[in-house]
Amino acid sequence: MRPKRTNATSKEKVYIYGKHALMEALLSKPQVIRKVFLAHDAGDKELQALLHEHAIPTVPLAASKGKELVGRDATHQGVIAIMDPSALLIPFDDFLKTLNPAKNPAVAILGEIHDPHNVGAIIRSAAAFGLSAVLIPERHQAGVTGVVVKTSAGMAFRVPLVSIGNVNNTLKVLKEKGFWTYGLAMSGTTALGDEKFDVPAAFVIGNEGAGIREKTLEACDVALSIPMHPRTESLNAAVSAAVVFYEWSRKHPEHLFS
């Protein structure tokens, strides 16, 4: 039986952990934090000041409680927060109002990425290379979890995360806004280095195993491939995304400093 996937726009609470992740949240999106569990030696002055400024309740964190909340292997540093992921995600229609196609922006669209580590890594790369947003489907897709936030190195609070419905419908809307749509595919007929990226771009990153759905790839304007040594069959989904984002950013350095 196929495992149930997290609904990216669900109201359920999730946990984020580690000082860096919490600091990024408090500095960028404090409204997503509901409560913080702190070990007695984990609350430095800057962290305490931000918690007080935003009136976020804190409770003591016992060692056994940390393992119970986020698992034995999670490195939480004595800092665990309850986050409402629905407060982090932006509705697609609201995001469209902020877009300025004249600036040649780029967005990433997740196409059934199931590993939260890959989701977090893609978000981190999108932030690093100046993309305007990461678009996350509501279904058949790993949602925003503590692992996603941790893997993103806090960038989940910096780059806009946008909730979308059907990927193909989203591509249609973006095309109407002047975007050129790209599906990352091993069998893509256009090599990454040959593309000019001289119009707004939307990059679809497909499932780790199956890749992009056939109908979605057909809906894209370009099937984009990454040239590589023949001894290597493919790259990890998050690595492929990072390579493509970097190549796009080389042709749009203005987005690295905006």
| 258/238 Cα distance (integer angstroms) | 24
Q: 166 is written with which tokens?
A: 């059907």
Q: Is residue 172 part of a domain?
A: yes
Contact 110, 73 (CB under 8 A): no
pLDDT digits (tens, 9 = 90+) for 44-59: 889 999 999 999 999 9
| Per-residue confidence band for 77, with pLDDT thresholds at 50, 70 and 90 | confident
Does 24 share its domain with 50?
yes
Does 153 share its domain with 105?
yes
The arithmetic mean of pLDDT across residues 116-143, rounded, is: 95
Does 66 share its domain with 128?
no
The per-residue pLDDT for 254 is: 86
The per-residue pLDDT for 94 is: 96
Is the pLDDT at 5 greater than 60? The verdict is no
| 38/116 Cα distance (integer angstroms) | 25
Is the pLDDT at 223 greater than 90? The verdict is yes
The arithmetic mean of pLDDT across residues 60-78, rounded, is: 84
The per-residue pLDDT for 175 is: 97
137: left (phi over 0), alpha (psi -120 to 50) or beta: beta
- Tell me how many degrees the CA angle 32-34-37 measures, rounded to the nearest 5: 120
pLDDT digits (tens, 9 = 90+) for 239-258: 999 999 999 999 998 887 66
The per-residue pLDDT for 191 is: 94
Q: 223 is written with which tokens?
A: 């099937």
CATH number at residue 126: 3.40.1280.10
Amino acid symbol at 86? S
pLDDT digits (tens, 9 = 90+) for 17-51: 888 889 989 999 999 999 999 988 776 889 999 99
The per-residue pLDDT for 196 is: 93
Q: 249 is written with which tokens?
A: 């950013």
Q: What range defines the domain where residue 79 resides?
A: 14-87
End-of-domain residue from the set 42, 57, 87: 87
> How many CB atoms neighbour CB 27 within 10 A?
13
Q: 87 is written with which tokens?
A: 């407060």
Contact 240, 113 (CB under 8 A): no
Q: How far is CA 85 from the centre of its chain?
A: 12
The per-residue pLDDT for 3 is: 35
7 to 4, 34, 136, 247: CA distances (angstroms): 9, 19, 10, 31
| Per-residue confidence band for 170, with pLDDT thresholds at 50, 70 and 90 | very high
Q: Could you give the number of structural domains in the chain? A: 2
Does 160 share its domain with 239?
yes
The per-residue pLDDT for 1 is: 32
| 59/67 Cα distance (integer angstroms) | 16
Does 48 share its domain with 123?
no
Strand 58-60, strand 79-83: pairing: unpaired
End-of-domain residue from the set 87, 105, 127: 87
| Per-residue confidence band for 186, with pLDDT thresholds at 50, 70 and 90 | confident
pLDDT digits (tens, 9 = 90+) for 193-211: 999 999 999 999 999 988 9
Q: Is residue 203 part of a domain?
A: yes
Contact 227, 191 (CB under 8 A): yes
| 136/130 Cα distance (integer angstroms) | 17
The per-residue pLDDT for 4 is: 39
> How many CB atoms neighbour CB 230 within 10 A?
5
Query: DSSP alpha helices (H): ranges in the chain?
Result: 19-28, 45-53, 63-70, 92-98, 116-128, 146-151, 167-176, 214-219, 237-250
Q: Is residue 7 part of a domain?
A: no
Cross-strand pairs, 205: 110
Tell me the Cα Rg of the chain: 19
Amino acid symbol at 116? P
The arithmetic mean of pLDDT across residues 179-198, rounded, is: 93
